Amino acid sequence: MSSDHADRLARGEELEFRTARTGMIFLLMICAGFTIIGLCLLGGGDGLLRMLGIAVAAFFGLVGIPFTVWRLIRPARELTVSADRGVRVLGEGTSVWIPWSHITQVDREVLAARPTVVLRLTPEAQERWDAAQRDAQGAVDAAPGGPGVVIPQTIAASPEEVFRALAAGHDAWSGSA
């Protein structure tokens, strides 16, 4: 990925930030382990134990392993930055674009002892975001330092790189507005 996010945004490109693959590698190891346990249960028991082995091997081997391999090949997109449209933060049930006009500031904060990026929104936009979060999750997590949208910490890029991309997009929009 180009380190000069402002140039890419000026050319009309969208910046995509995807999920880190480390979690999927761990999940793949778990699925492989349970598949092996299921296969061992197939060979060493009668009746109920054998049926349990079939279920465990089938679920983790036929569903879990292909899913995790797919996610390793194509990690989920969690954040999209566009000079024209704004920012799209993908989360549980939320996939809406936040226009630059609704973003007042891009901040760096610390959440759970890890650096993160927070988008500060206008009050009206913050109310809409909170309502969407409540509909999707049933609760709204508070952003550090006051109301805002927390950028997921599971993104493969560093918080500094995400901050630079968002700041470049916000600055480009502010300069043209």
pLDDT for residue 25: 93
Whole-number pLDDT of residue 138 = 58
**What is the per-residue pLDDT for 139?**
59
Q: Among all chains, which residue has been given the structure tokens 């913050």?
A: 126
State how far the alpha carbon of 110 is from the alpha carbons of 83, 104, 117, 144, 145, in Å.
26, 19, 8, 7, 9
- Bridge partners of 86, per DSSP, are 82
Q: What does the pLDDT read at residue 98?
A: 86
CA distance linking residue 81 with residue 6, whole number of Å: 11
Distance CA 159, CA 156 (A): 9
Structure confidence at residue 2 (pLDDT)? 42
pLDDT tens sequence for the chain (177 residues): 445 777 787 787 888 888 888 889 999 999 999 999 999 998 877 888 899 999 999 999 999 999 999 999 988 878 888 888 888 887 655 677 888 888 888 888 887 788 888 888 888 888 887 777 776 665 566 677 778 888 887 888 888 888 888 888 877 676 665
